[in-house]
Amino acid sequence: MIRTVETTPFADQKPGTSGLRKKVRHFQQPNYIQNFVQATFDSLGAHDGATLVLGGDGRYYNREVIQIVLRMAAANGFGRVLVGQGGILSTPAASNVIRQYGAFGGLILSASHNPGGPDEDFGIKYNIGNGGPAPEAITEAIYARSQVIDRYLTVDADDIDLDTVEETVIGGMTVQVIDPVADYAALMERLFDFDAIRALIASGFRLSFDAMSAVTGPYATEILGRRLGAGEGAILNGVPLPDFGGHHPDPNLVHAKALYDALMAPDAPDFGAASDGDGDRNLIIGRGIFITPSDSLAMLAANAHLAPGYAGGLKGIARSMPTSGAADRVAEALGIALYETPTGWKFFGTLLDAGLATICGEESAGTGSDHVREKDGLWAVLLWLNILAVRRQSVADIATEHWAKYGRNYYARHDYEGVDSAAADALMAALRGKLTELPGSTVNGLKIVSADDFAYIDPVDGSTSQKQGIRIGFDGGSRIVYRLSGTGTSGATLRVYLERYEPATGDLTQDTPVALADLIAAAAQIAGIAAHTGRNAPDVVT
Ligand code: G16
């Protein structure tokens, strides 16, 4: 029987860059999760008898929320829910399940690369029927609904067994527990030349994949370990844990330092990679060389035709605005379009659906293609392996040849974390206030030629997004971008993105901090970072 439960709104249920992310204890307030889920269901239009996909990255509180959502889905008229066994679905695997089974949409429970545990982070987001994150029109509707919500619907039913692959019925709705890995692994086999990668590995090529005690453990164990023959020893931290072993499941040089150190050691494996909490991000390190996400996007795009799934070439490349321009040069050489979108994978959806872009990427360690509508960590790892299997060169040689052909975009992102929100807002407001006076001025010896606040008009549906980041352009093509993160759960995170282009004829072997030193100093000066935040150095450099 459907039960209507009275509730009152929470003011803070506005989805950020990727869904609603808060501390677990915040989510555990009575009715907090119910309000958001009901606001989502209320915003979706007719979904009677429809299929919903449900799964998460296995973090603390995942299982409890799955049971709550199942009861609410039954009360809200869904006909079937496909839920990953153990409540597990990586974000790209969930996207694939939505598409493969023609589901109405899906709820993904994850706070991505943020830490997990009772005092850490949780998150929830809605993906639409194309498998991708809900566009802003929907997230805004969810937020608006959350502000006036006065009831949610549920049924009285026992918890279902999430660990057995079987069908159960609750409140007239079928719950189908599915193998979270099988469909995704089959998709990867269709896109990549597994025989070639197997042969590479059999020839003595050594790889190391760090699943960071997060969701990709089972996927990597099956695909890399078993199907490609790398063995279980190639998978580090392969068992998903609710608290990710107490670490940040963030595949960058700070949080995957052990992997980085192993790849820099004299006896390093040939290839190292990692993925994040929910499996959509990737980190790529060759023996002795880290590949920035922006460079990885460019190198994957330049070589994608070597994998069977992309043998016909690319339709276009899309990147988020703060991502470096390295991919632009590849697009130009290939004679295909390059799209520059705001930060957030949701902005790639229309381009992929319309067949305008095949490969997308972001500086925030995300790369993916039109095979799903999310970024996909293991996909990026497999495309790299496919390329290495065909070219039979080291990662370092591939990077060196790439830069020799296209030039090199030296690039870094500096994050100032846990900044007082009012101070961060004031810094951005002050920057916005001087956009007109900056062009023509010189800072730290660098001449500013442009300054604006990035605004985007979606070329497919015409929707617009304002205030997506302050861009400062310099004589010679260097660039600084400032924006506030939309994924944090406490205070504000100021992101400063720094980029300098060195042509193919220039010095391509500088250390990045040296190549960017002038820009780093200028960035601090232009925004008055120390004055506003009290910080003299970033917390994380990626
Ligand atoms: C999410 C989004 C990405 C975005 C990243 C960082 O990734 O899906 O598109 O680039 O956050 O966003 P921000 O700079 O606003 O923190 P994920 O992996 O956290 O879902």
Ligand 1 atom 7, closest CA: 18
pLDDT number for residue 308: 98
* Cβ of 417 below 6 Å from ligand 1: no
Of 214, 236, 213, the residue nearest 225 (C-alpha): 236
Identify the DSSP state of 224: I
Say if CB 210 and CB 259 are below 8 A apart. yes
pTM, entire model: 0.96
d(CA 186, CA 508): 40
Pocket probe for ligand 1: among 127, 364, 485, the residue whose CB has the most ligand atoms within 8 Å is 364
Q: Residue with the nearest Cα to atom 1 of ligand 1? A: 18
Residue 275: the pLDDT is: 98
Q: How many residues does the chain have?
A: 542
Please give the Cα distance from 420 to 402 (Å, whole number). Answer: 41
How confident is the model over 180-202, as pLDDT tens digits? Answer: 999 999 999 999 999 999 999 99
Residue 18: CB within 6 Å of ligand 1?
Answer: yes
Ligand 1 touching residue 9 (CB < 6 A): no
DSSP per-residue string spanning 1-49:
-EEEEE----TT---BTTBEEEEHHHHTSTTHHHHHHHHHHHTS---TT
Coil vs helix vs strand at 426:
helix
Taking CA atoms only, the protein residue closest to ligand 1 atom 6 is 364
For helices 395-406 and 293-303, the axis angle rounded to 10 degrees is: 90
Q: Same fold for the domain at 2-180 and the one at 184-406?
A: yes
Considering Cα of 333, then 339, then 345, then 351, what sign does the dihedral take? negative
pLDDT at 5: 98
CA of 253 to the centre of ligand 1 (A): 17
Name the active-site residue from 43, 95, 112, 146. 112
Separation of 507 CA from ligand 1 center, angstroms?
32
Place of tokens 């494996």: 269
365 CA to middle of ligand 1, Å?
Answer: 9
CA of 363 to the centre of ligand 1 (A): 9
Residue pair 411/292 in contact (Cβ under 8 Å)? The answer is yes
Classify 305 in phi/psi space as left (phi over 0), alpha (psi -120 to 50) or beta: alpha
Which tokens hold the place of 420?
Answer: 């007082």
Give the fold, CATH level 3, of 184-406.
Answer: Alpha-D-Glucose-1,6-Bisphosphate; Chain A, domain 3 (3.40.120)
Beta strand extents in 355-445 (DSSP E only): 359-362, 366-369, 408-419, 442-443
Ligand 1 atom 17 nearest Cα:
112
Domain coordinates of the chain in residue numbers? 2-180, 184-406, 408-541
Give the pLDDT of residue 488: 81
CB of 342 closer than 8 Å to CB of 456: yes
Q: Give the residue, by CA position, lying nearest to ligand 1 atom 18.
A: 112
DSSP string, 178-189: E-TTHHHHHHHH
Two structure tokens written together for 516: 């960017």
The pLDDT score that the predictor gives to residue 215 is 98
- C-beta 367 within 6 A of ligand 1: no
Note whether 455 and 470 are within 8 A (CB).
Answer: no
**Domain 408-541 annotated CATH 3.30.310.50:** yes
Distances (CA, A) of 35 to 24, 172, 191, 376, 401: 15, 22, 40, 30, 53
pLDDT tens profile 504-527: 999 999 999 999 999 999 999 999
> Regarding beta strands 470-474 and 464-465, do their DSSP bridges make them parallel or antiparallel, or are they unpaired?
unpaired
468 CB near ligand 1 (under 6 Å): no
What is the CATH architecture assignment of 2-180?
3-Layer(aba) Sandwich (3.40)
281 lines ligand 1 (CB under 6 A): yes
Beta strands 80-88 and 173-178 are parallel
Distance CA 280, CA 93 (A): 9
How many C-beta atoms lie closer than 10 Å to residue 205's C-beta?
18
What pLDDT is stored for residue 1 in this prediction?
Answer: 87
Token output for 165: 């692959």
3-state percent breakdown (helix, strand, coil) of the chain, nearest 5: 35, 25, 40
Neighbours of 200 (CB within 10 A): 22
Cα of 22 from ligand 1 centre, angstroms: 14
Of 362, 484, 495, 542, the one to substitute when testing ligand 1's pocket (max ligand atoms within 8 A of C-beta) is 362
Residue nearest to atom 9 of ligand 1 (CA): 344
Could you confirm whether 324 is annotated as catalytic? Answer: no
**Residue stretches of the chain with pLDDT short of 50:** none
